[in-house]
Amino acid sequence: MTDVVGAGAVDRGPAGLSGRDHEREVLDRLLTGAWESRGGAVVLLGEAGSGKTALLDSCARAASGSARLLRCTGVQSEAELPYAGLQVLLRGTLNGVRSLPERQLLALRGAIAPDEAPAGDRFLVGAATLGLLDELAEERPAVVLVDDAHWLDLETMDALLFAARRLGMGRVAMVFAAHEDSAAFDGAPGLPLLHLGPMTDGEGAALLAGRAPDLHPAVSSRILGLAQGNPLALVELVAALTPAQRDGSEPLDAREIAVLPASWRVRRIFDERIRALPAPTRLLLTVAAADDTGDVALLVAAGERLGVAARDLGPAEAADLVRVSGRRLGFRHPLARAAAYQGAVLVERTAAHRALAEAASAAGDMGRRAWHLAAATVGYDEEVAAELERSAELFRSRGGRAAVAAAYRRSARLTEDQAARSLRLAAASAAAAEAGQAELAGTLADEAGPVSSPAAFARLASVRAALEHEQGRAESARLLLVEATSRVTADRPAMGAWLLFESAAMAWAAPDPVAAARDTRARAARLDFGGHPVHRGASGVLDMLAGDPVGGVAAIREFAGYVVRTRHERGLTDQVRLHGWDMLLGEFRAVHDEAVVLERECRAEGAVGVLPRVLLRLARLRLFLGRHRDAYTTAVEGLEIACDTGQHQLAAMLSGVLAVLAALDGEEPGGTHGPGGGEGPRRTAVPGGDGGPDGGDQQAGGPSSAGRAGRDVCPHAAPVPIWLTRAQALLDLGLGRYDRALHRFAVLTGGPYRHLMVSVHSLPDQVEAAVRTDRAADAGPAAERFTRWAEATGTVWAAAVELRCRALLAADDAGAEELYERALAAHAGDGRPFEEARTRLLYGEWLRRAKRRAAAREALTAALESFERMPAAAWANRARTELRALGAAPATPPPGADPVGRLTAQELRVVRLAATGLSNRDIGARLFLSPRTVGYHLSNAYPKLGVTSRAALGTLDLG
C-alpha cells in the first residue's frame, strides 16, 4: 500500500494549512513528545478532502531533516494482501538492524520479505515493528505517517496498532488518517481520535484569500457555500475556475458543480483533469492506481507490457496528479487515485491488473500475481481459482488469516463446480473466524450451503457454533455441534469425538447445563467413537454437569493425561484451548505448572495473540493458590495484551480476576488501589472468553469493580458478572457483612453457575456466611455438596477446607476443636495459604469465644502474618480486629513498609526479570516492550525499592 514520500516531500494539500489550529497543536505536541522521548500516536478522522493528507504533509515537513520519516497510503485494491502496507512502510529498514530479538526479526522479515521466512503471529510482527521503530529512533526520532489507513490490510493494521499502543517512552510518533465513516478504528479506541469537521466560514475565507486574492467577493461567497467547509474542495474548485468565472462574469453552475457533495466535486475535477490527458498517460495512471507498491520499476515493467513507457507519466506530473520521488510514485491525493482507477473502463482496469500480474510474477511475488490475476478475471476461471487457493496457503504461512479468508472467498467466486465452490467457501469461513471477522465468517458459512465432505461439514459446524456462542447463544451452538457429531462420526470417529467434546463444552455454558448435558449424552449414546480418548473427556464433562463428580473426575483425569501426552502433536493454540479442564480436579499446582510451560512457549514463539488466554488461566490459578501479588501482575499483563490485541471477552475475564483481588484487599467497587497498596499501572489503553471450567464465559456487563489497576489498563472492560458477584461476595464476607454475602454466595452456587469452579469455590464461603448469620440449616446443602466434590477429587486442600466447614457446623465445642486441628494439619503443605490462613482466622475466633486467649492470640497472629504477606488487607483487618478484642494491639504496617508493593505491575515484572540478569533487550522481548520503555520502568522502580543499580536488585526479596 503505497505512496512512500521522502522526508523532503512537498505539500500535497492546501498551502499554509489555514485553519485546523487545534489539530495542528495536537500534532505539534505529538512530535515534540517524540523528540523528548515521550512516544505517542493519534488518529485523524474526516471525510475526503477534510485536510487529513495536508496535516500529514505538515508533519512530514516538521520532521524533514531532523527525523526519520516513514510513510505509506492504504489502497483499496490491495487491502487483502497480508502485510502489504508494512512491506511498503518498512522495506529497506531492516538493513543493519542490531538489537531486534532473533524471533522478532524473523517474523518481521517474513512480513516484509515473505520469501525469506514465515511471518507468524501478527501481534509478534507488531512487537517487532515496535522494536524496529525504537531502534531506528536511537539516532534520531522516527515519524510514521499512514494515510487512508482504512484501506490497510488487517495484518498491517493489527501490527501497527499493537506497536502504537506500546510506544511508551520511545522517540516515535505515529499518525493515522482514515475516513470518518471507517470502522477501521472501532475496535481500537486506545488511541486518541481527532475528528476533522467542516472548516468555519472565517477559516475558509482565509484559505481562499491566500490562494486566490483576486477572486470576486460574490464568487468567493459562492465557493464557500459549495465547498461546505471542505478545504480540498475550496482549493480545487478555485483551481478549476476559468478567468471569467473568477471575476464573476460566467456563472459557476455552467460547470455543473453546484449539485454534487463537496468530495464528489473534487473527484469530478480530478476526473476532468485525467480525461484531458493523452491516452497512454491515462492507461499508465490506471496501472499506477491498481498497484499498491508505488514502485516505479514495477510500474514501468507493467506499462511496457501495455505498450506505454515511463515518459508517458510526464503529462500526469505536469497536471499535478502524481509525484515521483526517486524510485517511488505517489498520487497527489487519494481522490486522484480513485479517479484514475474508477474512471477507467473495465477493459482498461483488467488490462492493468493483468500487466501487473505478469510484472509481479517476474519479480517472484506470487501472492500479488494471484490477486492481480483475480482482479483481471471476469466470470469463472478454475486455473486462476486454483492459483488463489495456493496463495491462500501461502498467506497462512505468513500469518495472514484475513488474507486467507479473502483468497479462498475470491477463489470460490471464480469456481463453477458447486462442490468445489462450497469447499472453498467453507475454508474461507473458517479462516475468517480465526481472523476475528465473525460477521463475514457467518456470511461465508451460509453461502457455502450444504457440503458433502465430512471434514468441511465439521469445520462449518464448528465455525457456526463459535459464532452462535459469541452472540451468547450457547444452546444453539451446542445443537449445531451435536447434529454435526451425529452426521460425521460413522465415517470419522475421531472427528466426531472432538465435535462431541465441543458440544459438551457448549453445554457447560448453556442456560440449563443439566438439561443440555442430558440431551447431549442421549444423542451420543447411539454413536460409536471407537474408544477415542477425547470421547472419554466429553463424557467426564457431561458427568460433572449432571452432578456426578465421581465419574466425572475419573474421566477428566484420563482425558487430561491424554492431552498432556499428545501435546506435541498439536499446535500451540490447540494446546492452550485444551489445557485447563483438569482444574475441575482441584489439582491447581499441577495445572499451574503446565500453564507456566505454555506461557514460556508463547513467549518463546512470540504467540502474542494466544498469550492473554494463558495469562488468564495463570492469574486464576495464582489466585486460587494464594499468590495474590503474582496473580495481580499476571492479570494486569494479560489485560494489557488482551486490550492491545482487541480480545474483549478475555479482557473482561481478566478484569474479573482483578476485581476479586481488589475485594480481598478490602477495596469497594470504585476503589483506588491494587494488591499491596501499589499505585497500579499508569499506561492507559482500551479493550478489545476463556470458556471452560475455570469461570463462566457469560457476556461482560455492569460496572467495573476491578480497582484502579483494571480501570487504568482497560477502562471499558467490565468484569464478567459471575466474577464481579464473587468479588462483591468476598468483600462482604471479609468486612463482616454476612447477610449480603450469604445472598450473593447463594446466587453463585445455585442456578446456571453451580457447575463452575468459581461456584465450587464459593460453597465453603456460603457455609461461613450462613453460620455467621445463625442460619446453619441453610449451610448444610452447600457443605454436603462440597464434601461430595472434595471426596471425588481427593485433593488435600479440599479435604482441609471440608473439615473447616464441618468445624463451623459442629454441634459441640469438642467436636469443633478436633475438626479445626485436623483441618490445620491437612493444610500443611497443601499449596493453599489463603485457605489455611482463613482456617486459622476462624479457629482463632472460635478460641477467643472459648476464652482461650493465648491459643487464640497465636492462631490469629499467624493468620494476620499470612494475610499481610499475600496481601489480603480485608482479611488482615479482620484478624487485627479479633486481636484487639483480645487486648493485643497489632500495628498496621506503615505506608512504604513493603517497597515492592509500591511498584506498578509493569515495574514489578521488569525488575523481577532484571534481577535474573536479563538485559533490557531480552526483557523487552519477553514482555513485548521496547528496550527504552524497559529502561524507563527500571529507572522509576529503583527509587521505590531504595536501590541505585540493577546489580542491587538481586539482593531484594521481590516476592
Helix, strand, coil percent values for the chain (each to nearest 5): 65, 5, 30
Give the global pTM.
0.79
The reply to whether 178 and 206 lie within a common domain is no
Calpha distance 299→360 (Å, rounded) = 10
Q: What is the pLDDT of residue 672?
A: 37
Question: Residue 195's beta-bridge partner residues?
Answer: 45
Number of domains in the chain: 4
String of b and e for 713-735 (b: at least 16 CB within 10 Å)?
bbbbbbbbbbbbbbbbbbbbbbb
Domain boundary among 259, 287, 305: 259
- Domain annotation covers residue 581: no
Domain boundary among 153, 168, 196: 196
Calpha distance 640→906 (Å, rounded) = 10
List the end-to-end C-alpha distance of the chain, in Å, as a whole number. 48
Q: Which domain holds residue 42?
A: 15-196
The reply to whether 55 and 191 lie within a common domain is yes
The reply to whether 801 and 913 lie within a common domain is no
- Domain annotation covers residue 286: no
Pairing of strands 142-147, 193-196: unpaired
- Domain annotation covers residue 491: no
The reply to whether 853 and 945 lie within a common domain is no
Amino acid at 814: A
For cell 494464594, the residue is: 626
Which CATH number do you get for residue 809? 1.25.40
Calpha distance 699→720 (Å, rounded) = 6
Q: Three cell numbers at 637?
A: 499483563
Burial class (CB in 10 A: 0-12, 13-18, 19+), 797: buried
- Domain annotation covers residue 106: yes
Taken in order 774, 775, 780, 781, the sign of the CA dihedral is negative
The reply to whether 172 and 231 lie within a common domain is no
Which CATH number do you get for residue 110? 3.40.50.300
With CA atoms as reference, report the closest residue to 721 among 809, 784, 800, 652: 652
- Do the Cβ atoms of 606 and 104 come closer than 8 Å? yes
Residue 628 CB neighbour total at 10 angstroms? 25
Taken in order 18, 22, 26, 29, the sign of the CA dihedral is positive
Taken in order 232, 238, 241, 245, the sign of the CA dihedral is positive
Residues in the chain: 959
Calpha distance 347→454 (Å, rounded) = 42
Does the N-terminal peptide bond of residue 189 adopt cis geometry, omega within 30 degrees of 0? no
Q: Three cell numbers at 742?
A: 450469604
Calpha distance 773→808 (Å, rounded) = 12
Helix (H) or strand (E) holding 70: strand 68-73
For cell 472468553, the residue is: 689
Helix (H) or strand (E) holding 68: strand 68-73
- Do the Cβ atoms of 612 and 647 come closer than 8 Å? yes
The reply to whether 127 and 229 lie within a common domain is no
Domain boundary among 143, 161, 196: 196
The reply to whether 773 and 916 lie within a common domain is no
What is the SS3 assignment for 444? helix
Instruction: Kindly list the strands in the beta sheet with 172-179, ordered across the sheet, starting from the edge strand earlier in the chain.
Output: 68-73, 142-147, 172-179, 40-46, 193-196
Q: How far is CA 268 from each of CA 166, 261, 342, 704, rounded to the nearest angstrom? A: 41, 10, 12, 51
The reply to whether 206 and 191 lie within a common domain is no
The reply to whether 238 and 132 lie within a common domain is no
The reply to whether 838 and 852 lie within a common domain is yes
- Domain annotation covers residue 176: yes
Calpha distance 371→375 (Å, rounded) = 6
What is the SS3 assignment for 82? coil
The reply to whether 221 and 82 lie within a common domain is no
Q: What is the pLDDT of residue 855?
A: 95
With CA atoms as reference, report the closest residue to 110 among 131, 86, 132, 130: 86
The reply to whether 803 and 862 lie within a common domain is yes
- Domain annotation covers residue 47: yes
- Do the Cβ atoms of 169 and 936 come closer than 8 Å? yes
Q: How far is CA 773 from each of CA 57, 420, 650, 777, rounded to the nearest angstrom? A: 70, 67, 36, 11
With CA atoms as reference, report the closest residue to 460 among 471, 446, 472: 446
Which CATH number do you get for residue 927? 1.10.10.10
- Domain annotation covers residue 334: no
Using left for φ > 0, alpha for ψ between -120 and 50, and beta otherwise, residue 307 falls in: left
- Domain annotation covers residue 649: no
Which residues in 695-756 belong to E strands, given as ranges? none
pLDDT along the chain (959 residues), means of 10: 34 52 92 92 90 91 90 81 87 79 84 63 85 90 94 88 87 93 68 88 85 84 81 80 78 48 69 90 92 87 92 91 85 82 89 92 84 88 90 74 82 89 86 76 84 84 83 88 92 93 89 90 91 91 85 87 85 82 86 92 83 94 93 93 83 93 82 41 29 44 39 68 92 94 92 80 95 90 93 93 96 91 94 95 95 95 93 92 88 70 87 89 85 87 88 82
